[in-house]
Structure 1
Amino acid sequence: MIKIAVCDDDGNMIQELKNKICDYMNKTSYNADILSFSSAEDLLKYDESFDIIFLDIQMSSLTGMEAAKRLRQSGSESFIIFVTILKEYVYDAFSVEAADYLLKPLNSQRFQSTMDRIIHYVLEKKTAVLTIQKGSWCQSVHFADILYCEAINRKIFVHTKQEIIDYYFRINELEKQLAPDFFCCHRSYLVNLHAVIGYENGQAKLVNGENIPVSRLRRQEFIEAMLIYMKKGDR
């Protein structure tokens, strides 16, 4: 089930988007749960997360751009698609890692191509897992749940959103398993680019408030990889 939010202060626009989403889902045989919100405040109050959020930028109270910033600050990993009449905000969309930017009135072909791309990422995110084995014990961890991996002596410590899992493995072999969304920013660290929100003073800043070291030799390559990943909006 794909969870989708539609947030717009225009009821007609909400209905048009819901119709287009339903038509797309019927054609592709995917299942979706669609919730609508008439204000950004109502969206932010909702406790559960969404896979995709369609978000108007210009709303009467809190703007969609400000709502997107707050969502990212709270750790939201939703794919945000702005739907607006305002072309001038397209570059600001990069700052909140928007997945796309659709102009009103909606173009059906453009809408479908956007959905094709984003649904692909959503399904990939839901299915990509790392299998960790310790003797007879085995556990699968979704890539999206991993913040970073740390190598200490012969052990790997996988730092997830919920816990830290350690097991015996080599970091160079782990890097192959986690490519391409993870970057070896230090000989002892693999970081999920999706969890990175910035870089400062030789440290990668993560969504959970932690900082991890970036080696001097890999600094420029890391910054380039981080910026490319953010501009892709692959969230």
Structure 2
Amino acid sequence: MTIRIMIAEDERLAREELVYLLQQEADVELLATATNGRELLELVEDCVPDVVFLDVKMPELEGTQAARMLAARKQHPLIVFCTAHEEFAVDAFKLYAVDYLLKPFEPRRVQETMQRVRERLAKGKAEQAAPVKRSKLLVEENNRLVVIDPATIVYAVREERFVQIHTQTDVYTTRMTLSQLEEKLQAYDFFRTHKSYLVNLQYVSELTPWFNGAYNLQLKGEQRIRIPVSRTAAKDLLRKLEE
């Protein structure tokens, strides 16, 4: 398997050093390099890399911002952060990076990172074949990581730039997109009833016709929460509920 890698690094010497080290890996194909975050986002569209080695500090759009934007895509590359500051390690893993590399780059660390990349890519292919039903979901909220049991999630709703995750007992607010959450919960019985709502079908009690082919969905519980079901999603939802 050939691993398609893109480097986003504004420092020429660091970029050339990383290119040289990655060229030593037999299964690596190096794609076009980017010198800032905006350029990276444009190149990713054309080149479709498997992995991006991403500098944390770059002009125009910082690496952390670019990483969040890439993660929001349905098909998104793995991220390896490159930084001169070791204290960034915790933040890197909060953003679900595969690894982080400290500058100046050490050949052995690059080799270790590539092994992690290979393992993650192989795991991703296996998960695509059969979604794994994980018992824990890790969610970032207010600079902390919260562990949630996916089975307790009743629904999630997008509120401007955030997503609120409503469980049986609590509400969590995160910058994770609704699409990202949906992907993580694909092994469970969740359904996107509307562009702003993701619902656990195990908590659905009834459907009420609304207008123009749309519905209102009512959830179990004392609050009797109603969720909109768009006209385009209604047919698929009815079919799903009959399975």
Q: TM-score range by the shorter chain?
A: 0.5 to 0.7
Aligned length: 156
- Say if 2:100 is the partner of 1:101: yes
CA distance in 1, matches of 2:74, 2:85: 26
Match of 1:202 in 2: 167
Aligned to 2:4: 3
CA drift at 1:102: 0.8
Q: Which residues of structure 2 form unaligned runs of 5+?
A: 136-149, 153-161, 173-177, 183-191, 193-197, 204-243
- Between the aligned partners of 2:69 and 2:37, the Cα distance in structure 1 is 10
- Taking the TM superposition and a 5 Å limit, the aligned residue runs for 1:17-32 are 17-25=18-26, 30-32=27-29
Q: Could you list the per-position Cα deviations for residues 19-57 of structure 1 after superposition, in whole angstroms to 9, with x for gaps in the alignment?
A: 1111022xxxx2524321111110111214221110001
Quote the residue 2:85 is aligned against.
86
Q: 1:109 Cα shift?
A: 1.2
Tell me the equivalent position of 2:38.
Answer: 41
Indicate how the Cα distance of structure 1 residues 214 and 94 shifts in structure 2: closer, same or farther if over 3 A, else same. farther
In angstroms, what is the RMSD of aligned CA positions? 3.2
Where does 1:9-158 land on structure 2 (aligned, <5 Å)? 9-25=10-26, 30-46=27-43, 47-48=45-46, 49-126=48-125, 128=126, 142-143=128-129
Unaligned ranges ≥5, structure 1: 130-141, 144-176, 188-196, 217-235
* Larger Rg belongs to: 2
The amino acid that maps onto 1:34 is: L
Is residue 78–residue 98 contact of structure 2 (8 Å, CA) maintained in 1? Answer: yes
Please give the alpha-carbon distance, in whole angstroms, between the structure 2 residues aligned to 1:199 and 1:114. 34
Match of 1:213 in 2: 200
TM-score normalised to structure 2 length: 0.55
Residue type at the aligned position of 1:5:
M
Looking at structure 2, the residues matched to 110 and 82 of structure 1 have their Cα atoms a distance apart, in angstroms, of 13
Specify the SS of the correspondent of 1:74. Answer: coil
- Which residue is equivalent to 2:221? none
- CA 33–124 in structure 1, closer or farther in 2 if over 3 Å, else same: farther
Structure 1 residues 42, 35: closer, same or farther in 2, change over 3 A? same
